[in-house]
Amino acid sequence: MALHAKETIHDIAYKGDIHTIKLKLQEDSKLLTKKDDNDRLLIHWAALGGHEELLKLLSDLGSPIDSKDDIGSTPLILAASAGKEQVVHTLLSLGVNVNSQNNEGHSALQYASSKGWLEIVQKLLSSHANVNITDKRGATPLHRAASRGNTNIVKELLACGNQLVVDAKDAYGNTPLHLCCEEDRAEEAGLLVQHGASLTIKNKEEKTPLDLAPPTLARQLKNWVEQ
């Protein structure tokens, strides 16, 4: 009982208890824009919890849909990071900023690419997410997907064709191919090379992707290029 007594309205939003939220907002409409200790509104927690109906209600009542928490994350960024596909769809239909970035420069597309949420990546790209968006370390969604070995995401990003900068460099001068080679991710490295990624481009330490690749992968990559 003591734990229940300490439950906040933000906890209730995260659980998705729409009935209780409605009652509490009828009692005090200011709760709609009341922030918790993390500067999050009810709509942040509804998004993070994956509660589409509650999110729609909060939006209809006038909750700011692009509000940022203490680290700069919007409801869309939180939903994309948590893999809440339907909430992402709903937020995009409400007109949120698809390219909003948090304090570290991470966007919804970057989180989805890093965590392997293919359907979310597809929806974000179809909603005009910037495929080359960079965080504070200069990493693009392709850097994140490639380094994590998220093959389906890499393929989806490469499908953007000329829009995608395949040899984008991060703050250390590394391209996505550098990271693949360093992590010995042969399939992703092969895809990148087949889509024009350079084997000779150097990072800030004057290393090429081949310099970072284990011998077996280096041979495979050379063979792919020579074919």
- Residues 50-81 pLDDT 10s: 999 999 999 999 999 999 999 999 999 999 99
- The mean predicted confidence, pLDDT, of the chain is 95
Q: Which of 103, 130, 157 is the last residue of a domain?
A: 130
Q: Does 103 share its domain with 13? A: yes
**Residue 121 CB partners (closer than 8 Å, separation 6+):** 109, 112, 113, 141, 153, 156, 157
From the list 66, 37, 41, 71, the residue with the least C-alpha distance to 54 is 41
For 56, the domain range is: 9-19+32-130
Q: Minimal CA–CA distance to 177: which of 157, 197, 160, 158?
A: 197
Question: Are residues 217 and 198 both part of a single domain?
Answer: yes
82 and 187 co-located in one domain = no
Give the integer Cα–Cα distance in Å for 207 and 124: 33
Is residue 6 very low, low, confident or very high in pLDDT (cuts 50, 70, 90)?
A: confident
Q: How many domains does the chain have?
A: 2
**Mind listing the pLDDT tens digit for each residue in 79-124?**
999 999 999 999 999 999 999 999 999 999 999 999 999 999 999 9
Entry pTM = 0.94
Answer yes or no: is 3 within a domain: no
Residues 142 and 112 in one domain: no
Task: Clarify whether residues 93 and 150 are in a common domain.
Answer: no
Q: Inform me whether the pLDDT recorded for 187 exceeds 50.
A: yes
CATH code, domain carrying 112: 1.25.40.20
The pLDDT assigned to 222 comes to 83
| Reported confidence tier of residue 16, pLDDT bands at 50, 70, 90 | very high
pLDDT tens profile 17-38: 999 999 999 999 999 999 999 9
Whether 13 maps to a domain, the answer reads yes
Tokens of 63: 């909750």
Same-domain pairing of 215 and 165: yes
Residues 154 and 124 in one domain: no
Tell whether the model's pLDDT for residue 225 goes beyond 90: no
Indicate whether 122 and 150 sit together in one domain: no
Predicted pLDDT of residue 2: 39
C-alpha 62/C-alpha 52 separation (Å) is 16
Q: Determine, yes or no, domain membership for 41.
A: yes
Q: Is residue 1 part of a domain?
A: no
Question: What is the reported pLDDT for 226?
Answer: 72
What are the backbone angles phi and psi of residue 39, rounded to the nearest 5°?
60, 30
Residue at which a domain ends, from 83, 111, 130: 130
Query: Do 77 and 124 lie in a common domain?
Result: yes
